Structure 1
Amino acid sequence: MTDTRPALPDHLSVDPRSPHHVAAVFEHDIGIRFNGKERSDVEEYCISEGWIKVPAGKTLDRKGRPLCIKLKGQVEAFYR
């Protein structure tokens, strides 16, 4: 079976309303490594700018979505 995966974009978001959301990528299991540690709570990332957005605890914004904080560091995206 040949498994053709799309190239991982430089900037990707989990939110389907975001312009950086690529549905074809989410058909596969992807992982994010941030500063050498694998993270499973990443909402959005940008490899070239070196940041990820993760939920800040259980806090929600006024629209009911998780309130995210931006962490800067080395970002690496990969397929599992």
Structure 2
Amino acid sequence: MSDTVPDRLSIYPDSPYFNEEVLRRGIGVRFKGEERTNVEEYCLSEGWIRVAVGRTLDRKGRPMTLKLSGPVEVWFKEEEAAS
């Protein structure tokens, strides 16, 4: 497996940006300088993340999300643990 984090990643298996190997390995996301644990999807090149909003569900039964724009940093968590 590559040591490069994907440009875009989603936690949903039906998404074209889903990558089980990367998710199993563990990803850390920092948005606007703050580490986030509730990110459902991100895109480095476009500079955005999607996070769940409240308890409202969409028509597929998933939490409604909000797209936030700003600087996004992503890393593999296992590298953090090895340091």
TM-score normalised by structure 2 residue count: 0.86
Alignment length (residue pairs): 77
Stretches (4+) displaced over 3 A: none
Aligned CA-pair RMSD: 1.3
Q: Does 1:11 align with 2:8?
A: yes
Gaps of 5+ in 2: 78-83
> Greater CA deviation, 21-30 or 48-57?
21-30
Q: CA offset at residue 34 of structure 1?
A: 0.2
CA distance in 2, matches of 1:6, 1:18: 22
Give 1 or 2: higher helix fraction.
2
Aligned residue runs from structure 1 range 1-80, under 5 A: 6-80=3-77
Percent of counterpart pairs with the same letter?
A: 52
Structure 1 unaligned residues grouped into runs of 5+? none
- Deviation for aligned residue 1:8: 1.1
8 Å contact kept, 1:6–1:25: no
